[in-house]
Amino acid sequence: MILVTGGTGMLGSHLLMRLVQNEPMVRATKRKHSSLQVVENLFHFFYPEEAKTLLNKIEWVDADLKDTYQLAKALHNVDTVYHTAAIVSFRRKDEIDMIVNNREGTANLLDLSIEAGVKKFCHVSSVAALEKVEDKKYTDEENYWKTEKAKHAYGISKFQSEMEVWRAKEMGLPIVIVNPSIILGPGTWQSGSSQFFSSVAEEMYFYTEGGTGFVDVLDCVDAMISLVSTHWEAANGKRFVLNSDNLAYKDLFTRIAKEINTQAPKWKISRRGITIAYWFESILSMLMRRQPKITKSTINSATNRSYYSGKLITETIPFTYRSIDEAIKRVAKQFLWEHQNR
């Protein structure tokens, strides 16, 4: 039995879609009140005739990563785990809970996997858990953190989760880690990277000067399955950065706008400009008693330029990345399809 944690998320749902094509049954965890709508939309978009049959091959289990009893039940008869579940937030009020939940949830899953005799454990980390070195342009697998000072909370949570995985490796659990850059794929459209498409569709007027690495969600899934099922000997005990290309945000938004037939943002907003907007937004959010749309973490992400190298996996196993343009076209097509079929 294969277990996928975080099955309702963007990466988890795509992983399930691939796995059920070759497995008689796959078990997946979700939170008790999580919606299956993203998963169902995905299956119906890719396999309209087979969607119901394929969805029935998923055994859903309600399991909170902090609940060891629920996790132990989910791990019954499981020999392979894909751990994609994690809280992602850039809101200040969520920072402590996110760090504790991601670290302790991963630790619980690892400890119970050791007890259950799991033979293969694939952990999804992030490039946020890597150290950026000033005199080195491209960040890769060799960039280890030296300090948590000045790091944003999500990065800290993923770094600490990775430390738990390395601990479990020393205790005898066979593991592999993947560190994706920003994953491009369809999701709720109002959160995560999927929000790029809905934001551009609403005709953004401004773009920031930053940029980062991007990877197709299908590349992440193919890499994970290939490392675990076909090339485990080469993958066991290692980690791999997954990154297809490094793009400026303006470039990304322009390509998305072309595919969904809307206007690309025209005016660049500087770090000073977005910082001013942040203070106005902070005051407005307090007056209206709502969460701010701009945070210090999002300012840093939007205005910094990061470069990542994802070539190690291509040098280790037979693997080729899709082009980012291919990913953008496919995700834009699904974005339009879902909005037309509401």
Please give the full DSSP string across 251-319, using - where no structure is assigned: HHHHHHHHHTT-PPP-EEE-HHHHHHHHHHHHHHHHHHTS--S--HHHHHHHH-B--B---HHHHHSS-
Position 43 in a domain: yes
Beta partners for residue 211, in sequence order:
248, 305
- For residue 240, the enclosing domain spans 2-186+215-245+308-323
Q: What are phi and psi of 204, to 5 degrees?
A: -65, 140
HSE-up of 172 (CA within 13 Å, CB side)?
A: 8
Query: Is there a domain that residue 46 lies in?
Result: yes
**pLDDT tens-place values along the chain, 342 residues long:** 999 999 999 999 999 999 999 999 999 999 888 889 989 999 999 999 999 999 999 999 999 999 999 999 999 999 999 999 998 877 777 888 889 999 999 999 999 999 999 999 999 999 999 988 777 889 999 988 877 665 788 899 999 999 999 999 999 999 999 999 999 999 888 788 888 898 888 877 777 888 999 999 999 999 999 999 999 999 999 999 999 999 999 999 999 999 999 988 887 776 676 666 655 555 656 665 655 555 556 666 666 889 999 999 999 999 999 999 999 999 999 999 988 876
- CB burial readout 52-63, b (16+ within 10 A) else e: eebbeebeebeb
User: Which tokens sit at 20?
Assistant: 């059920």
Tell me the two tokens of residue 138.
């491209």
Domain count, the chain: 1
**CATH code for the domain in which residue 153 is found:** 3.40.50.720
The reply to whether 104 falls in a domain is yes
Flag whether 317 is in a domain: yes
Map tokens 């694939």 to a residue.
Answer: 122
Establish if 334 belongs to a structural domain: no
Q: Is residue 269 part of a domain?
A: no
Half-sphere exposure in the Cβ direction for 69 (13 Å, CA)? 0
Q: Is residue 286 part of a domain?
A: no
Q: Is residue 72 one of the residues assigned to a domain?
A: yes
Cα 308 to chain centroid, rounded: 16
Query: Going by C-beta distance under 8 Å and a sequence separation of 6 or more, which residues neighbour residue 246?
Result: 211, 212, 213, 214, 306, 307, 308
